[in-house]
Amino acid sequence: MEPVVVVAVLSVVLGALIAFIFFRNYLLKQRSEVQAIAKPELHSEPKKQSKPPQSISKKSHPKSHSHASDKDSNKRHHPLDLNTLKGHADSVAGLCFSPDGHNLATACADGVVRVYKLEDASSKSFKFLRINLPAGGHPLAVAFSDDASSIVVASQAMSGCSLYMYQEERPKTTNDPKQQTKLPLPQIKWEHHKIHDKQEILTLTGATASYGTGDGSTIIASCAEGTDIILWHGRTGKVLGHVDTNQLKNNMATISPNGRFLAAAAFTADVKVWEIVYSKDGAVKEVVKAMQLKGHKENTGQRIHFTIYKVFSLLFMSAVTWLCFSPNSEQIITASKDGSIRIWNINVRYHLDEDPKTLKVFQIPLHDSSGSALHYDRLSLSPDGKILATTHGSTLQWLCIETGKVLDTAEKAHDGDITWITWSPKPIPLGNERVVVLATASVDKKVKLWLAPPVNSS
């Protein structure tokens, strides 16, 4: 039995030795891992504390912060970038200057309409009037009515779209100086709900009825994402007319500066134009179809079999994305997905079947990485009719309307897509001079003011 006992004892000893060696190596390994983890922490901590104490003092922190901000602003600065209007907490969908150019209204997805006072375009900060919409609604677009004291707002809510007309009340005369400084908030003068069959309003534009026997009041056009467009009287909210584009889906609509024409860009390559006819007493009598602008085509250059799917594809590829009128209301400028801009003469005797004429065609000078032509999302013509401001995504571009040449480009004008652009109708103060500025809005919660680039007459 002794050999058996010896073997058993040896087995126990060897097992214990193996177990000891295993656990020893395991503990040493764990210790080394703990040290390896601990050393970087201990090493990094002194690094943070090795800096002089004043580096985290209140005095030095603003310096480093401002230096970073200056560096970032210099990186993004463009020579024409004049100023930024602050205060928006969400995407800005719409913009509109007052008729005198001294006020700029913005429609923000945070549920607030802000009316900025542009006393000097170079100011570090601007005073603004805050208009909170009724609960549940957020503004989509804005348009001034007869003057800077009244503004029409398009709002989207769960129940559909609404229109509100806000007007500032005149302050009551009083001998109390404290009450004189408090201006009354704008009040709702008229409102309409669930308009356009609850469809979203894409654009809201206004113009003064100065053509013919027009009474000089403001006409507002609301364009829905469907096919209908409604004309409203700015002061009273009365419906003046209703048209249907019958083109599957609208892109936008606008009124000529003199209040004579209404034009719409929709799903197809054709632009429909209506005339707003005024009666002898100056009121709107009717809205009649005047003409159609035909000329934009698909840019494939290929002959294909016209199946229903391909017909719709071609219509989409040549659709007019945006349009604007010239200051004299005699021309229309259109941008299409076919990669071109067209300038049309609409000062024709359409009632005698005289067709509008294409005056100029420019190729859009933007291309993607594959070399394919891009289209413009927005257009806005300067008050003097010389500079066409255009956008694609976050890119802002200025063109000479005479030659079609690019005057300047800001490739990243905003940190997101540009949602709206508009020129000030009149020069506004800039230090000791007065200038016309371009305003842009974006999903990046910013509104920017831009100077106009110089135009070479040659």
Question: pLDDT tens digits for 66-85?
Answer: 333 444 444 458 999 999 99
Residues 195 and 164: their CA atoms lie apart, in Å, by 12
Burial of 386 (0-12, 13-18, 19+ CB in 10 A): middle
Contact between residue 269 and residue 319 where contact means Cβ atoms under 8 Å apart: yes
Reported as a single tens digit per residue, the pLDDT across 357-394 is: 999 999 999 988 888 889 999 999 999 999 999 999 99
| Band (178; pLDDT cuts 50, 70, 90) | low
Give how far Cα 134 sits from Cα of 113, 153, 163, Å. Answer: 11, 11, 11
Domain count for the chain: 1
**Position 7 in a domain:** no
pLDDT digits (tens, 9 = 90+) for 323-340: 999 999 999 999 999 999
d(CA 375, CA 371): 13
Domain assignment present for 15:
no
Q: Is a pLDDT exceeding 60 seen at residue 48?
A: no
Domain hosting residue 336, numbered range: 76-169+184-451
214: three-class secondary structure by DSSP: coil
Question: Which tops the pLDDT comparison, 47 or 317?
Answer: 317
Of 335, 355, 339, the residue nearest 347 (C-alpha): 355
| C-beta separation of 324 from 385 below 8 A | no
CB 196, CB 250: distance < 8 Å: no
Q: 64 falls in which pLDDT band (50, 70, 90)?
A: very low
Most confident of 18-32, 46-60, 216-230: 216-230
Q: Is residue 121 part of a domain?
A: yes
Q: Distance between CA 277 and CA 262 in Å, rounded?
A: 11
Q: Which amino acid is at 266?
A: A
Q: pLDDT-based confidence at 271, cuts 50/70/90? A: very high
- Euclidean distance between CA atoms 413 and 447, whole angstroms: 10
**pLDDT number for residue 377:** 96
Two tokens at 250? 């609208």
Question: Which has the minimum average pLDDT: 87-96, 306-315, 397-406, 433-442?
Answer: 306-315
Cβ 173 vs Cβ 208: under 8 Å = no
**Strand intervals (E) in 216-283:** 218-224, 228-233, 239-244, 250-255, 261-266, 271-278
pLDDT confidence of residue 408: 97
Residue 152 has pLDDT above 80, yes or no: yes
Tokens linked to 439: 């305003």
Overall residue count recorded for the chain in this entry: 458
Q: Which of 100, 108, 117 is nearest to 447 (CA)?
A: 108
Eight-class DSSP state of 34:
H
pLDDT: is 16 or 345 the higher one? 345
Beta bridge partners of 342: 334, 361
| pLDDT tops 50 at residue 59 | no
- 314-319: Cβ within 8 A, 24+ apart: 315/267, 315/268, 315/269, 316/267, 318/268, 318/269, 319/251, 319/265, 319/266, 319/267, 319/268, 319/269
pLDDT confidence of residue 24:
56
Q: What is the pLDDT of residue 17?
A: 62
Predicted local confidence at residue 300, as pLDDT: 45
Q: What is the pLDDT of residue 10?
A: 60
Q: Residue 136: its pLDDT value, please?
A: 87
pLDDT value, residue 18:
58
Q: Is the pLDDT of residue 62 over 70?
A: no
d(CA 34, CA 276): 82
Q: How many CB atoms lie within 10 A of CB 448?
A: 24
Q: Which of 308, 236, 238, 248 is nearest to 272 (CA)?
A: 248
Examine residue 276 and state whether it is found in any structural domain, yes or no.
yes
Domain annotation covers residue 351: yes
The answer as to whether 254 is a domain residue is: yes
CATH code of residue 224: 2.130.10.10
Side-chain-side CA neighbours of residue 20 (13 Å): 6
Strands in 103-108's sheet, in edge-to-edge order, are 92-97, 103-108, 112-117, 128-132
Q: Is residue 364 part of a domain?
A: yes
Q: Does 49 reside within a domain?
A: no
**Phi-psi category of residue 101: left, alpha or beta, with phi > 0 → left and psi -120 to 50 → alpha:** left
Nearest 5°: CA angle at 206, between 200 and 210? 150
Average of per-residue pLDDT values in the chain:
83
Q: What is the 3-state secondary structure (H, E, C) of 112-162?
A: EEEEEECCCCCCCCCCEEEEECCCCCEEEEEEECCCCCEEEEEEEECCEEE
Residue 432 has pLDDT above 80, yes or no: yes
What is the structure's pLDDT at 179?
55
pLDDT value at 22 more than 60:
no
Per-range mean pLDDT, top range of 7-11, 21-25, 112-116, 172-176:
112-116
